[in-house]
């Protein structure tokens, strides 16, 4: 397995926790040299290079990408993983909230990829993977702003793929359902009955459980690999059947 990504350099934003940590670890296991870009780099995977970066600030992104190329000799893979949540309807979100979430969830992906393009164009195996969500296709209550941004990530991915196919750069996205990360677990603790809320999240997937970070990381590693060389402009669902199958809870009551 290690030979699959040997000699390739991967950048993972938000790689110090959750899906990003699992992805950086998986890419390392498959032989890639990995740079984690995050606001804090105390908990990055063993063997990865940590670079402090705020993806919401162009100067920080440009500096971090330059440092990756300087330390590791180039860039072949970019995983745009950073994202933030937003809870509520359109009545609950003011203009500042829209701007905040759009900037981190969508514009930062364009910001990071644009900074990496000069290096990606030189790579014989260039690949970009953006983190979208099942919220892009499924109407989830109380997630208006978040869903809008994840739909934008999907559309942005398709447009980027069309723009850069002539450069030899493959660009795809993944659409996970709710992932059982430490962040989700902390969020659940804010509810009066965390166990009931966890069960409800599990039940949304036809498989009856939340997705694991490692499952998302495996899908990202596949799209990053030259083995997926004919795949570009694609969205891959890692959702336990949430989008196209009826959830188990619904099946049991109808």
Active-site residue list: 146
Neighbours of 85 (CB within 10 A): 13
- Tally of CA atoms within 13 A in the half-sphere of 162 that contains its CB: 5
- Cα separation, 177 vs 206, in Å, equals 11
Three-class secondary structure of residue 240 per DSSP: coil
Strands 169-176 and 49-52: unpaired
CA 81 to centroid of chain Cα atoms: 3
Beta strands in the chain (DSSP E): 9-13, 33-38, 49-52, 77-80, 126-131, 169-176, 235-238
Nearest to 129 by CA among 203, 206, 33, 24: 24
Asked if residue 128 lies in contact with residue 76, where contact means CB atoms within 8 angstroms, the answer is: no
Q: What is the DSSP string of 46-57?
A: TTPEEEE--TT-
């Amino acid at each position: 397995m290690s030979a699959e990504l040997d000699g390739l350099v991967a950048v993972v934003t938000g790689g110090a926790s959750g899906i990003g940590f699992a992805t950086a670890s998986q890419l390392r296991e498959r032989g890639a040299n990995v740079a984690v870009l995050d606001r804090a780099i105390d908990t990055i995977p063993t063997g990865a290079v940590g670079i402090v970066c705020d993806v919401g600030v162009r100067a920080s992104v440009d500096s971090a990408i330059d440092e990756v190329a300087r330390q590791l000799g180039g860039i072949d893979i970019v995983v745009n993983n950073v994202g933030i949540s937003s809870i509520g309807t359109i009545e609950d979100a003011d203009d500042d909230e829209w701007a905040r979430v759009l900037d981190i969830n969508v514009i930062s992906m364009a910001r990071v990829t644009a900074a990496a393009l000069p290096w990606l164009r030189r790579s014989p195996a260039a690949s970009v993977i953006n983190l979208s969500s099942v919220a892009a296709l499924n109407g989830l209550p109380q997630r208006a702003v978040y869903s809008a941004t994840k739909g934008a990530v999907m559309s942005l991915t398709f447009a980027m793929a069309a723009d850069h196919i002539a450069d030899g750069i493959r660009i795809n996205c993944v659409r996970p359902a709710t992932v059982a990360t430490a962040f989700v677990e902390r969020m659940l603790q804010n509810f009066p009955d965390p166990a009931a809320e966890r069960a409800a999240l599990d039940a949304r997937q036809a498989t009856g459980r939340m997705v694991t970070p490692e499952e998302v990381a495996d899908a990202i590693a596949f799209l990053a690999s030259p083995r997926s060389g004919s795949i570009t402009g694609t969205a891959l669902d890692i959702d336990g059947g949430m989008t196209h199958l009826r959830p188990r809870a619904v099946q049991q009551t109808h």
